[in-house]
Amino acid sequence: MPDTTSSIPLREPNRPAAQPALVKTTIEYNDRLVRQFMLAAILWGLVGMSAGLLVAYQMNFPRLNLNLPWFGFGRLRPLHTNAVIFAFVGNMLFAGIYHSTQRLCKARTASDLLGSIHFWGWQLAILGAALTLPFGYTQGKEYAELIWPLDILVTLVWVVFAINFFWTLARRNEPTLYVAIWFYIATILTVAMLYVVNNLQLPTGWLHSYTIFGGVQDALVQWWYGHNAVAFFLTTPILGIMYYYVPKAAERPVYSYRLSVVHFWSLVFIYIWAGPHHLLFTALPFWLQSLGMLFSLMLWAPSWGGMLNGLLTLRGAWHKLRKDPVLKFFAAAIAFYGMATFEGPLLSIRSVNFLSHYTDWTIGHVHAATLGWNGFMAAGMFYFLAPRLWNRKLYSERMANTHFWLGFVGILFYVSAMWASGITQGLMLNATNAEGTALAYPAFLETVQSIRPLMLLRAIGGSFYLLGWILLIINIYKTIKGAEPINGTVSVYAKDRAAMAGMEGSLGFFPTLFNAPVMYTTAVVIGVCMWMFSHDLFSLFGFFIALVATLGAIVHFQASGDRFSDWYGKLIGNWAPFSALTLVAAAVGGAIQIIPTLMVHTSDNLEDRVQIPYTPLEIVGRDIYVSEGCYNCHSQMVRMIVPDVLRYGEYSRMGESIFDRPFQWGSKRTGPDLARLGGPIATGAEWMRVGARSNSWHYVHMLNPEALSPGSIMPPYPWMLTQAADWAAVPGKINALRTLGVPYEPMDADYIQTLLERQAAEIVSNLATENLSADPQSQLVALIAYLQKIGQSEDISYARVRLETAAPRAE
Amino acid sequence: MDVLVLTVFLSLVLAVGFICLFARHRQSSRYASAEREALLPLEEDGPPLQRPKS
């Protein structure tokens, strides 16, 4: 790889040669890459926000689904979430990281080529997502919907990014790493870990795969990923950006550098444990739910430490907010970060989650963070960067200020509407009579109708926000149109390089892990965890360990004269040991939660019942259900709370979804839960099941939901009657599921075809009795077969036999 | 009067203390502190390179 650094040794004429230490080299930064990522972020921001606005209006006016398969809510909502997370925030954070890292390292990005591969590879992955998600090619896991070839592309591009980033750190001309870079390191390493583990899957074709985890394991891994995608993709890199750009814009250093040390390590360590708070009251083991809740509550401290550190950086500069749009956006973004990180732990408290889960309250919480924290940090950063990267004053500060107020009012409309909506619907869904024996509002649709005006207010709030973004686009376009792009430079002296070289390598692997600060900190953390999470003597022993380690550390440092800051100063001058410790801190929580859950033997640890594997036709129907994104609006998890049991039936057991790949417990109930929708095999039938609703009800409901549920906001799916389901892929899918441990007997393609035909024929015949006709191979028939199977289980004793022999059992 | 003596004395203590600490800090190997890194973002870019016109 050639050295791409543009270096011009400058020496003033007619002067004696400078001493070697003072020889100056001027380095030009690769700001072209920053400009590319910034413009991409602005463009994808428009796409992602527009998709969000469209689906918000689709919820209000189902006709906007246009009866087109690729335009339906279930397919466009993943497009919206993926676009705003990976395309908008992704490109934004890459712009910020490349711009700030070069300056903090006083070095040009290590490789221009890797930078270009990173940029174009990332855009290719986004384009791939935009072309596949609307056509129903999805894994069916929230924020991890991309199909496996795109997952591989994303992973490779991320590796390219990581190499370029760490290579730049290794070539830096600054002895130590600034706090922003710590957050970038945590982002790169943790996102790689999360993304790879959660996307472990077995392909059945170029466009389809099954995740290797099933049921409860998939739920735990998915929300370990899902929650920490928020933590390490939407939070830590933006915190790094905050630590660089807020001091820069306020023209004063960060309020407390020492607080940032505490902020970083506590956040990285604690965040990763919080995932299970997405699964409270579900079939997830209770110890995991408790860990998720407790660590979520602990997050209050580091989150607010960081928020206060950011806001107090503006000390003495508050007057600038009146005119400076950049600082205005930053201050509001940090305030929204504080609000969202207060609300998150609040929602993870079991008694609050009882009300809030599956409602719009969660949606409001997420959007306070994404629109307020991510969106406003992005806007502030772009308004800051555009004049510097194109060497021209911002076209209109007035327009930027208007953008701010439009966005601000939009967020307030959006968030307050979602709070009111979530609390209203949550209260209605959970309300019972005085004895607690009957629901006060048994009709789910009635609760939906009560929040319709708030849903419209949300869409209006989103419109305001999007309008503000359009103003940003106009403003940036006018600023850079015809302007000459410029690249920043820095003068580096030979002594700087020498100082950096003296620092790097001064801390080996062994001293990194086995030194007083790390050992004492580890002992305190282990002791406190034992104290909190165990009982009796173990708990007492944990307290004792924590106490002894604390006192030992004080005595040790006082007696020896060592200082924590001396060791830490050395650590932040050594990028590899720093990165290793960061990875350890971020990986511990996930390892403790996930490994035991994966190791336990399934059939020995289930409750009273285990799921009956799907028939070939039900597999086809389930894949259609996943492909249409039904999980975006329907859960399949009756929580262990009285209102859920009264409304839907028995609470869901862990075993009832143990073979589901992906799990479909859901995170939002725009429509009712479906876990008890299925039923037993119908009288006189061999394979056809009939559950809570008849086949004909499902038929009519899928074609026109409002015909059976006046006021329903579910979109119609008329194409399912005419489009053929993919039966040819079933043998490969069954083979894949067998490989993953689903107890199927060996079946050849002919036998599978026979089963498909027989079950489909039974359903079609049943429909015909009510004068409804359907092609046996239509998607609708397969979907009906699946809907009638949801939640069907058998006694654990039968299941054990099936698991051990993988033989079919006659019912 | 006593107050004046006390003020001068305390001022001298502070001044000498400051000089001693400053000297010690100057001689320390890193010539840095945890807060020094906090100043890193405040450095401004240099002027763009002048490229020869082709």
- Tens of pLDDT, residue by residue over A196-244, are 999 999 999 999 999 999 999 999 999 999 999 889 999 999 999 999 9
What is the average per-residue pLDDT within A727-755?
Answer: 94
The single residue listed with the structure tokens 């959006």 is A414
Distance CA A307, CA A187 (A): 18
Best A28, A100, A567 member to test B by mutation, with max B CBs in 10 Å, is A28
Identify the H or E element spanning A150. helix A148-170
For residue A247, pLDDT beyond 60:
yes
**Which residues fall within 8 angstroms of residue A724, CB to CB, at 6 or more apart?**
A775, A777, A778, A779
Q: Are residues A229 and A194 in contact, defined by beta-carbon separation less than 8 angstroms?
A: yes
Best A6, A32, A176, A241 member to test B by mutation, with max B CBs in 10 Å, is A176
Condensed to tens digits (0 to 9), the pLDDT of residues A22-48 reads 788 999 999 999 999 999 999 999 999
Task: State whether B41 and A104 contact (CB < 8 Å).
Answer: yes
The type of residue at A52 is G
CA-based end-to-end distance of chain B: 78
Chain B contacts in chain A segment 370-399 (CB below 8 A):
388, 391
* A561/B contact by beta carbon, under 8 A: no
Q: Are residues A756 and A656 in contact, defined by beta-carbon separation less than 8 angstroms?
A: no
Give the pLDDT of residue A3.
41
Which has more pLDDT, A505 or A54?
A: A54
The model's confidence at residue A15, banded by pLDDT at 50, 70 and 90, is very low
Tokens of B18: 């400051």
Task: State whether B41 and A243 contact (CB < 8 Å).
Answer: yes
* A175/B contact by beta carbon, under 8 A: yes
Give the pLDDT of residue A5.
43
Say if strands A201-203 and A209-211 run parallel, antiparallel, or are unpaired: antiparallel
Q: Are residues A283 and A654 in contact, defined by beta-carbon separation less than 8 angstroms?
A: yes
Chain A contacts in chain B segment 16-35 (CB below 8 A):
30, 32-35
Task: State whether B40 and A391 contact (CB < 8 Å).
Answer: no
Closest residue on chain A to B33 (Cα): A569
Condensed to tens digits (0 to 9), the pLDDT of residues B1-54 reads 678 888 899 999 999 998 988 787 666 655 556 677 888 899 899 998 887 765
Q: Are residues A111 and A1 in contact, defined by beta-carbon separation less than 8 angstroms?
A: yes
* A264/B contact by beta carbon, under 8 A: no
Distance CA A419, CA A416 (A): 5
A24 chain-B contacts, CB cut-off 8 A: none
B48 chain-A contacts, CB cut-off 8 A: 28, 391, 486-489
* A32/B contact by beta carbon, under 8 A: no
**B34 to chain A, minimum CA–CA distance in Å?**
7
Task: For residue A201, give the 3-state DSSP assignment.
Answer: strand
Task: State whether A569 and B42 contact (CB < 8 Å).
Answer: no
Condensed to tens digits (0 to 9), the pLDDT of residues A360-404 reads 999 999 999 999 999 999 999 999 999 999 999 999 999 999 999
* B40/A contact by beta carbon, under 8 A: yes
What does A35-87 look like in DSSP terms, one character per residue? HHHHHHHHHHHHHHHHHHHHHHHHHH-GGGGTT-GGGSHHHHHHHHHHIIIII
Task: State whether B41 and A244 contact (CB < 8 Å).
Answer: yes
For residue A97, pLDDT beyond 90:
yes
Task: State whether B41 and A569 contact (CB < 8 Å).
Answer: no
Condensed to tens digits (0 to 9), the pLDDT of residues A103-118 reads 999 999 999 999 999 9
* B52/A contact by beta carbon, under 8 A: no
Best A105, A257, A568 member to test B by mutation, with max B CBs in 10 Å, is A257
Task: State whether A26 and B37 contact (CB < 8 Å).
Answer: no
Residue A7 β-bridge partners: A27
For residue A9, pLDDT beyond 50:
no
Condensed to tens digits (0 to 9), the pLDDT of residues A675-710 reads 999 999 999 999 999 999 999 999 999 999 999 999
**B4 to chain A, minimum CA–CA distance in Å?**
35
**B32 to chain A, minimum CA–CA distance in Å?**
9
* B37/A contact by beta carbon, under 8 A: yes
What is the average per-residue pLDDT within A792-803?
Answer: 83
